[in-house]
């Protein structure tokens, strides 16, 4: 069974889902793939310790305190490839970005392959079930395009601006994606 609670952030309402011990999902209202990894029934419960801790983490994040991802018990559901990509996302420092291509090269290196598709990485990034905490908003296209944020490009821009990035070096894609 999963439990559910809500958090009102500066960029909109967020839904937090988890079991008795960990966080399985954190989605922005209207996010693509909203709750796609949650297959069981959810019951509203606001007082679970890890829900309270996650809300405090989000408070700290939105108050520019740069909380540690490792302080939270995260358990996103996904295959081994997605898990590997999400682990790399957690290594991207606050206020920094990586490209899909850089992540693809790291995955290839870590798995002993000669190459890895940036598009495959993009698929894993886009299906990240724990937004903001697993910082998929910190991934950009090789050409500086702000492509590929399931929560919406407008939210990605707000999050990166919040983290102090100079947004003048990035572009908003007109259509499609440029990984």
Calpha distance 32→139 (Å, rounded): 16
Sequence-distant (6+) residues with CB within 8 A of 109 are none
Could you give the angle at the alpha carbon of 113 between the alpha carbons of 177 and 76, nearest 5°? 60
Calpha distance 51→108 (Å, rounded): 35
- Residues 133, 54: contact at Cβ < 8 Å? yes
| Active-site residue, from 136, 140, 146, 159 | 136
Q: At what angle do helices 118-126 and 80-89 cross, to 10 degrees?
A: 80
Measured CA distances, 41 to 8, 35, 89 (Å): 23, 11, 28
Whether 136 is catalytic: yes
- The residues assigned a catalytic role are 136
């Amino acid at each position: 069974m999963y439990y559910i609670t809500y958090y009102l952030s500066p960029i909109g309402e967020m839904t937090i889902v988890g079991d008795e011990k960990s966080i399985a999902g954190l989605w922005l209202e209207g996010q693509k793939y909203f709750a796609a990894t949650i297959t069981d029934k959810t019951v509203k419960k606001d007082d679970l310790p890890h829900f309270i801790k996650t809300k405090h983490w989000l408070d700290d994040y939105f108050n520019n305190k740069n909380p540690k991802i490792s302080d939270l018990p995260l358990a996103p559901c996904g295959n081994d490839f997605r898990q590997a990509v999400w682990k790399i996302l957690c290594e991207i420092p606050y206020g920094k970005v990586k490209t899909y291509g850089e992540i693809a090269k790291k995955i290839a290196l870590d798995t002993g392959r000669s190459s890895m598709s940036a598009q495959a990485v993009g698929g894993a990034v886009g299906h990240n079930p724990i937004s903001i905490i697993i910082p998929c908003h910190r991934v950009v296209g090789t050409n500086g395009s702000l492509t590929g944020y399931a929560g919406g490009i407008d939210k990605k821009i707000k999050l990166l601006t919040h983290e102090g990035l100079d947004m003048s070096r990035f572009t908003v894609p007109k259509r499609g994606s440029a990984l």
